[in-house]
Structure formats: C-alpha cells, structure tokens
Amino acid sequence: MVAIAPFRALRYNPNLVRSLSLVVAPPYDVISPEEQNRLYDASPFNVVRLIYGKQDPADSPTDNRYTRAKQAFDHWCNTRVLVRDETPAIYLYEHTFHWQGTPRRRLGFVALLEFAGSVPDQVFCHEATFEEPKRDRARLLDAVRANLSPIFCLYRDPNSTIHAFLKQLSQNRSPLATVHLPAPPFWGGPKEDMTAKRAGRDEEVRMWSITDPDLIRELQHAVEPVSVLVADGHHRFEVALSRRHLCQAVMSYFSWLEDPAVMALPIHRVVQVTQEAKAAWPSRLQALCTLTPVASLDSLIQWLVKTEGHGQFGY
C-alpha cells in the first residue's frame, strides 16, 4: 500500500513576507549561477538560500553553503519568518500555466509519503542515480534536518476518482496562498527551450489546506491501493530513505498521471566521442533499432514532436 499522512507545514509568515512570488525558487538542479544571483537579490528570505546556497572560495568544514543554510533556516524560524501551521493538514496544490498557447491546470496534493509500508513495493524509483548529487543533498539534509522541497510523484487514477475528489475539495474554499510567477519562468539553462515557448504567459500557483480528519482519511484510503512513480527528486528521495532513522516520511507532491497537464518532454543530450567511435555507431544502432535517415536536424525534431509511440529516438 501507499501510506500518506498530514503534517504541520512551515510556511512564510504573511505579516513579514508580503509577496510569495519573491521568495519562491525553481528546483535546485536547474538554477544557473545567474539565476541564483537574481533569486538572492529578489528577497533576503528567498528559499534559494536554503535549497541551493552560494559557495565561496573560503568555505570550510564549519562555514559553507550547508552550515549557512542551517543558520538561515534557524534564524527564519526563530524570528517567525517561517511559522508552523497549528493543525496537521494535506495541502492541495494547483498549478496554472500555458503550453504552446494552450492553458493548462494541474491539481495535486502535498503530503508525507511514509516509508513504512510504502517502499519499495508500491513506490517506483529511478533505476540509477549519481553519487555526487546524493552527497550534496545528504549534507544539506544532515545540516538543516528538514524537507525543504517536495518529491514529485505520479499516481495512476484511470477513472479520475481521486482527481474528482481533489477538485471537489478545492471548490468553494478560499486559497491558503496564491503565488504569481511572471513569464518567462524562473529557470534557465536546460529549460530555456521550454520557457521560450511559454514566454509572455504568467503562471499561478494556488494552495489550500485540508485539515478535516474525515476528508484526510478518505484521501488516505483512496491512495492506499495505487502505485506511485517518483518523477522528479530521485536523489532527494534516496537520501531521505537512507535517513529514515531520523524521519519515517518524506514531503511529496502527488499528481494524477493521466492528467493532460502532466507532460513528458524529450530529453536532449550532447555526447562527445572520437571519430572512430562515431563511424561505428550506425552499425551498432542497427542491431538495436530501425534506422530512418532524415534530411536535417529540423526534420528530425519535427519527427520527434509529431510521431506518437514508444521508444522514439533521434540521432
């Protein structure tokens, strides 16, 4: 089964942080140095200081991005920049955006994914992760001792039963918080090709707090039999799982797999090889797949975009 639980979230104090748009940040692994500087300048309380703090040539074992993240986190808690909700809750999370001119709205929820009973039978993780990102996230977790950003999980809901339940919960309720993200979105680097297509369209995130024990139990029972795929946050998930003696759960965002607003886009990679190895590739590839020549890179990209099916690769 998949076991989820409510929790008392730490949230920005609206009396001290008037605009959430100035304190949010994209996932740490897509933040470029330029974007990191912009986020630092946006607000002294921007979460980038916790999830992806700046490094300094003079960093030492006692003064580095991880110790500074802990200092900032402790200071924000002690000065009530961050305040803990009084009642355990599951948080509905709605993301509205445009993709290629079409409005999209993705509705999910944030809860604790409990390790006991959920892993590994019902939670499917990445088949391979890298040691360096895991060391980085482990040092941060060991220093701060908090889940600073949720794991992104997808769950099957073919009949949209859970989705309909979430949609009903979000109606006729005032949002707990609303965040407006100006277009283009924050992140650059690997995502630049994506953001260019969305330029000129603002994004919005709305969040609701569900504290009613009966409603929470209903959602828990609905999620129990489903399987969960970790779509993003593989390294943070593995680190949290390895530290389950400290905490028996990890904060996770759950999204409906069949939702049209959940899109998997192509991943492009540049591979540097010798000319000899490059010349040998066609014969090696023919042993694995069918090769179809194309006239140009543009033709190849159009073929990737328009062709439906499994296992579509361009070279």
Looking at residue 306, its pLDDT comes to 76
* Phi/psi of residue 83, nearest 5 degrees: -125, 145
Is the Cα torsion angle 92, 12, 261, 240 positive or negative in sign?
negative
Claim to verify: residue 200 and residue 300 sit in the same structural domain: no
Claim to verify: residue 33 and residue 104 sit in the same structural domain: yes
Residue 154 Ramachandran class (φ > 0 left, ψ -120 to 50 alpha, else beta): beta
Claim to verify: residue 14 and residue 85 sit in the same structural domain: yes
Write out pLDDT tens, residues 85-139: 999 999 999 999 988 788 999 999 999 999 986 666 788 888 789 999 999 999 9
- Mean pLDDT for the stretch of residues 169-183: 88
Residues facing 131 on adjacent strands: none
- Mean pLDDT for the stretch of residues 266-290: 85
Distance between CA atoms of 211 and 218, rounded to whole angstroms? 12
Range of the domain at 78: 4-256
Claim to verify: residue 115 and residue 216 sit in the same structural domain: yes
Looking at residue 314, its pLDDT comes to 83
- pLDDT above 80: residue 280: yes
- pLDDT above 90: residue 284: no
Claim to verify: residue 284 and residue 247 sit in the same structural domain: no
Looking at residue 254, its pLDDT comes to 97
Claim to verify: residue 252 and residue 279 sit in the same structural domain: no
Claim to verify: residue 278 and residue 241 sit in the same structural domain: no
| Domain end call among 256, 283, 301 | 256
Residue 152 makes CB contacts below 8 A (sequence gap 6+) with 230, 231, 232, 233, 252, 253, 255
Q: Do residues 20 and 46 lie in contact, with contact meaning Cβ atoms separated by under 8 Å?
A: no
Write out pLDDT tens, residues 133-161: 999 999 999 999 999 999 999 999 989 99
Q: What angle do CA 52, 41, 65 make, to 5 degrees?
A: 25
Claim to verify: residue 203 and residue 236 sit in the same structural domain: yes
- pLDDT above 80: residue 235: yes
Of 69, 75, 88, nearest to 9 by C-alpha is 88
Count of structural domains within the chain: 2
Looking at residue 169, its pLDDT comes to 94
Confidence band, pLDDT 50/70/90 cuts, at residue 201: low
Claim to verify: residue 246 and residue 286 sit in the same structural domain: no
Claim to verify: residue 308 and residue 241 sit in the same structural domain: no
Confidence band, pLDDT 50/70/90 cuts, at residue 17: very high
**Within-domain flag for 263:** no
* Phi/psi of residue 306, nearest 5 degrees: -90, -25
**Within-domain flag for 261:** no
- pLDDT above 70: residue 186: no
* Phi/psi of residue 234, nearest 5 degrees: -60, -40
Could you tell me which residue, 161 or 272, shows the higher pLDDT? 161
Claim to verify: residue 116 and residue 249 sit in the same structural domain: yes
Claim to verify: residue 208 and residue 77 sit in the same structural domain: yes
Q: Do residues 135 and 206 lie in contact, with contact meaning Cβ atoms separated by under 8 Å?
A: no
Looking at residue 229, its pLDDT comes to 93
**Within-domain flag for 47:** yes
**Within-domain flag for 265:** no
